Amino acid sequence: MIPSSDTWQLFLEQISMAPSADALETLDLQIFGRKQGNMTAAFKELGTLSQEARIQKAQELNGWKQKLTDAMETKKKELTAASHGSLAGTDGIDVTLELPEQETGHLHLIPEFIERVEEVFGRMGFEIAEGPEIETEEFNFNMLNIPATHPARDGQDTFWLEGSEDLLLRTQTSPVQIHYMQTHKPPFRMICPGRVYRKDADATHSPMFHQFEGLMIGKDISLANMKAVMITAIRELISPDVHFRFRTGFFPFVEPGLEVDIRWQGDETKSREGKWLEVVGCGMVHANVLKNVGIDPDEYQGFAFGFGIERMIMIKHQIPDLRAFYTGDLRFLRQFS
């Protein structure tokens, strides 16, 4: 039996009242589904009619088919428009809306500076190494040509670990030179940033501070190479027109030894205007140190250096007191975002 007009009329009403896209989909299947759709079945039945009746019914059915398809389309559009509308009302994104400004964090001055150090020395072919903060007396002093009775130990008084004879918090990153040379064959270039500990505490000294060590060993490395690397690093890390000077300096593990002072540009009170701040210790690695790690000083030579990170940042940003680095005061830190 081909359904009557009432049936199609009813479908039309159901379509116009469909509450959701799912409901519309179900109706679509009921009417046009290939297996059970009423319209599909009706068209199949046409074949059983006489030719005259068939032509007439076919016309009628095509009319309903058109109406129902149109109604479906219209309803579909209506439902999607409505769902967009409700999305806008709940979690839709209004791209014209101005949101309150979000505060984004940034690295602390010290790790930020260390990243920059790694970048600058990375470009000069230096590898980044690491070493322990708890050291033995052997690595921190003896192997670096500073025996127990050497007066150079006085300037590096540190924290010794309770219950052990020879464990201490390293006073310098220089023991990493020893670790590195014991495990690598020259030629090489390395830097090693890290924390170090001494008993001093005032505006330019803290019991914990940061250094980075550097080492370059090869067959014909000279003091001129060292100066070139120092000058490039200081200019890149502080500014191209920074004022600095080399002077001779004593460190038991280098010979000859140099220090680099950078002119302090002065704080608001101008108290340090024109003064020099010692920032770098460096020199040609002492033959005794090379021998200690089994490198033949007649075959290889090179230079080592140690930079004070806080002091570099103090000069770069005109910070008068290095204790500001560690208090976690956001009023201080936010100035450098």
* Closest separation in Å from C-beta 123 to ligand PHE: 21
Please, how many CA atoms are within 13 Å of residue 113, restricted to the half-sphere of its CB? 25
DSSP string, 167-180: EEE-SSSTHHHHHH
Whichever of 131 and 281 has its CB closer to ligand PHE, that residue is 281
Whichever of 252 and 264 has its CB closer to ligand PHE, that residue is 252
Binding site for ligand PHE (CB under 6 A): 172, 174, 251, 254, 257, 281-283, 304-306
Whichever of 54 and 205 has its CB closer to ligand PHE, that residue is 205
* Closest separation in Å from C-beta 121 to ligand PHE: 14
* Closest separation in Å from C-beta 287 to ligand PHE: 14
* Closest separation in Å from C-beta 135 to ligand PHE: 12
Whichever of 75 and 189 has its CB closer to ligand PHE, that residue is 189
Q: Which of 148, 111, 26 is nearest to 75 (CA)?
A: 26
List CB contacts of 224: < 8 A, sequence separation 6 or more.
none
Whichever of 38 and 140 has its CB closer to ligand PHE, that residue is 140
Cβ atoms within 10 Å of 51's Cβ, excluding its own: 7
Whichever of 166 and 200 has its CB closer to ligand PHE, that residue is 200
* Closest separation in Å from C-beta 284 to ligand PHE: 9
* Closest separation in Å from C-beta 317 to ligand PHE: 22
Secondary structure class of 74 (helix, strand, coil) = helix
Q: Are 257 and 281 in contact (CB under 8 A)?
A: yes
Alpha helices in the chain (DSSP H): 5-17, 21-32, 38-45, 51-89, 109-123, 137-140, 175-183, 223-237, 287-292, 309-317, 330-333
